Amino acid sequence: MNILDGKHVSQVILSNAKQQIEQMQAKIGRVPGLAVIIAGNNPASASYVKSKAKKSAQAGIHSTLIEFDAAVSEEQIIDKIIDLNQDASVDGILVQLPLPGHLNQWKILDHIHPKKDVDCFHPLNQGRILLDRSSIFPCTPAGIIKLLDYYNIEIKGLNAAVIGRSFIVGKPMAALLTNRHATVTLCHSRTRNLPELLRRMDLIVSAVGIPDTVTADMVTENVILIDVGINHIANYEDAVRLCDQEETAKFSRKGYAITGDISKQAFKKSSWFTPVPGGVGLMTVALLIENTVALFNQHHSLV
């Protein structure tokens, strides 16, 4: 089993982005701007947003965090998005999901200008992804494709399963793999005989959010395993069973440990796998930065 090392590959992407941003600053006189909107107090969302802001700043992006409390109205967020659409210093806008339950996310996301839509949430961009006509692609699936490309893993012709059909990960992941000539099965909570289906696969992407969604008995030898899931494990015994050693060692300091959807025993059967943490999550942040740079280039007609 070989690691698809998100830590290493994301660093490569970040240092390329940093170089490009320095050149942009010299040529255009400003750096790319990213605005991230967060509403409510979901601790996982807060920690993702913190990491996105930190990495963006390290790369030289000007990132602004706009925080609303949980009782915010749709109109307040939409008004902010309209301002950001008109702000020439902002190239990318990201609304961190999930939003508090009383808000209609579609109504809000429809207001992001398609040319500033850094994670491709707008319906126009979702359509462009399917047509393979988008200039940027959603951060998590695009990060996974970059990771596979970095290690020269040929996607063409693979039998691939994507588990989870969210519009931010599962559906676009299936589209991106199809665009790269894999034969894709998109699975979800109502899929019948998932284990039997998975045993026929060369590549499995799991984006569910439940530990042990994919276990060793469900996979064939030499399968490629991509673990998107992020699960917080608050019980030490469960952490020992589910998390990798390094992560379990952090349990006493943090009071929790993180694991993905795919079991350690399944990884042992794989040819390539993404660890959690240290895999897809870091690539997602790197692609957010790469996409912001791409949108900046488009705004200045540099591409």
| Residue of the chain from 38, 108, 207, 258 that contacts ligand NAD (CB under 6 A) | 207
- Of the pair 32, 164, the CB lying nearest ligand NAD is at 164
Can residue 188 be called a binding residue for ligand NAD (CB under 6 A)? yes
Of residues 5, 20, 52, 80, which has the active-site annotation? Answer: 52
Q: Find how far residue 268's CA is from the centre of its chain.
A: 24
Which of 33, 60, 138, 164 binds ligand NAD (CB under 6 A)? It is: 164
Q: Is 25 a catalytic residue?
A: no
Burial class (CB in 10 A: 0-12, 13-18, 19+), 152: exposed
What are phi and psi for residue 121, nearest 5 degrees? Answer: -85, -25
Selected catalytic residue, list 5, 20, 96, 117: 96
What is the rounded distance in angstroms from the CA atom of residue 293 to the CA atom of residue 303?
A: 11
- Contact between 293 and ligand NAD (CB under 6 A)? no
Query: Judged by CB, which is closer to ligand NAD: 10, or 248?
Result: 10
- Say how far apart CA 295 and CA 32 lie, in whole Å: 8
Is residue 208 near ligand NAD by the rule CB under 6 A? Answer: yes
Residue 163 contacts ligand NAD per CB under 6 A:
yes
The answer to whether residue 55 is catalytic is no
Which CB sits closer to ligand NAD, 36 or 163?
Answer: 163
Distance CA(239)–CA(235), nearest Å, equals 6
Answer for which of 20, 125, 284, 291 binds ligand NAD (CB under 6 A) is 284
CA–CA distance, 296 with 182 (Å, rounded to integer): 31
C-beta atoms surrounding 127 within 10 Å: 12
Judged by CB under 6 A, the stretch of 85-93, 128-136, 207-215, 241-249 that binds ligand NAD is 207-215
Q: Which is nearer to ligand NAD, 169 or 239 (CB)?
A: 169
119 part of the active site: yes
Among 155, 230, 233, 289, binds ligand NAD (CB under 6 A): 230
Contacts to ligand NAD from residues 11-50, by CB under 6 A? none
From candidates 18, 159, 209, 300, binder to ligand NAD by CB under 6 A: 209
- In the chain, the amino acid numbered 28 is I
Nearest distance, CB of residue 139 and ligand NAD, angstroms: 7
Q: Is 158 in the site for ligand NAD (CB under 6 A)?
A: no
Question: Contact between 189 and ligand NAD (CB under 6 A)?
Answer: yes
Tokens matching residue 222: 């030499």
Nearest residue (CB) to ligand NAD, 24 versus 55: 55
Residues found near ligand NAD in the complex (CB under 6 A): 140, 163-166, 168-170, 187-189, 191, 194, 207-210, 213, 228-230, 280-281, 284
Catalytic residues: 52, 96, 119
